[in-house]
Structure 1
Amino acid sequence: MFRKKFDLTFNEAFQAQKKIESFKLCIVGSGGVGTFASMISAASGFGYLRLIDGDIVELSNITRQIFYTENDVNNEYKVDAMKRSIHQLNSSVHVEAIRRYVNKKTIIKNNFFKDINLVVQAADQPSGLIDKIVVENALKAGAAVILVHNGSVGPLFEPGHQENFRKFIKFLNRDSDGFYEQLIYNRSKFNRTAFPTIAQGILGLTQELCDYILQYAVTGSVPKLENSFYSLSKRKYINFIDKKGR
């Protein structure tokens, strides 16, 4: 299946699998998308996963975050429960479980993205602002970042191209008539995602995401996501940079 998907010869597939095994992947957020992406990555042969989330498993989680169990509720940090589940699937994966939230305070004290090749930003708190915190600090650490939200995957931001994130923010401001940055900087700390990810098509979303993760691990690039993001509902790529490169 891997060979067919990327049109590889047997030898090319073998070399690609070696790249995947040595690739260091970080997933921020162990919610719906983050848990599925973690398990699929482990099953695909990724040798190193760093999971970051400060949540303890709650009863409401297990309706859509299916790798947690009733025994985990109020007892286990999400990252610890995911580490156990991953090792039950593939014991050879090195899983680093970090029981922290990523925010403006913790990012100063922790080098969350050191030695990482790719960061998947799947967390939803602090709402909206988390993207900026993760992208800016991951790029400083030399890691690429791919965003995933309810209904969309991308863009992909790479070290040396920080200006693309600024252009993406400008696009979001234009698309929201200037309200995007006002909203993320003035949201209550109690604000939560309006709908659980399962309602937004978690399986389709994660499938798209994991294809891009594999592509980046093997080839070092995902051209389709460099200047655009994929909308699951519209089933098309939406460019965030205009013809003048703004």
Structure 2
Amino acid sequence: MPKYKLFLLRHGEGAWNKENRFCSWVDQHLSEEGVKEAQQCGGLLKEQGYRLDAVFTSLLTRSIQTAWLVTQAMGDEWVPVLKSWRLNERHYGALIGLNRAELALNHGEEEVRLWRRSYDITPPPITESHPFFFDIYNDRRYLTCDVPLEELPRSESLKQVLDRLLPYWNNVIVPEIKKDRTVLISAHGNSCRALLKHIEGISDDDIVGVTLPTGIPILLELDSDLQPVKPHELLGNQVQIQNAIRKVEDQGKAKKTDT
């Protein structure tokens, strides 16, 4: 029997999700569709009888905004929300801002798939010549981190995401879960994938095939040792969920775009 319930949530669609660009640490708000996704997520959780006790987000607006909208839809606006850079999206380095489909056209779909989904491949690092470098590293939110600004990543593999996420998971989130509190982590595609890999023991090879759509709550039921009692479950209309997964997977396919 499950002792604890944990929800993971990839934020609702952002402006650059819509444009099929690597957003990463560039701060973006939700698109109109992303707002709807977050509201529908909160409505679904409320309809199914769930209540939240604690919420964790990254430092990025699309993650925070999603948490606001979910808790508002549930009538749980009062629930504490804690934020950490350790839940940020994977840092895609020099790929930030680039269109995935155009990259696939120029470099091949398999190369882009490895950049997006592999466990231990790191993209080229961002440098000061990158058009979004100073947008990220001059942002005062990163002066609040538990590491100096110069030690923040310039590029990451999924393995590195998990490495920087685990201290926060073990020291901050796990104690809340063990107080028998229902926790929502409103984060990003790769920070959620990294946590799923850790919790469920997904292999380095198999994590490549794990795709998470925006705005779909993921339920994890855990025993007293925080081991899953069954595979994670994406909640909602399963046909719509599979269509959303295919949409995300198609982002890395080669096709000419106007963006």
Fold shared, TM-score > 0.5 on shorter chain: no
Q: TM-score, normalised by structure 2?
A: 0.32
Q: Flag the structure with more relative contact order, 1 or 2, with Cα contacts below 8 A and sequence separation at least 6.
A: 2
Which structure has more strand as a fraction of its residues?
1
Q: TM-score, normalised by structure 1?
A: 0.33
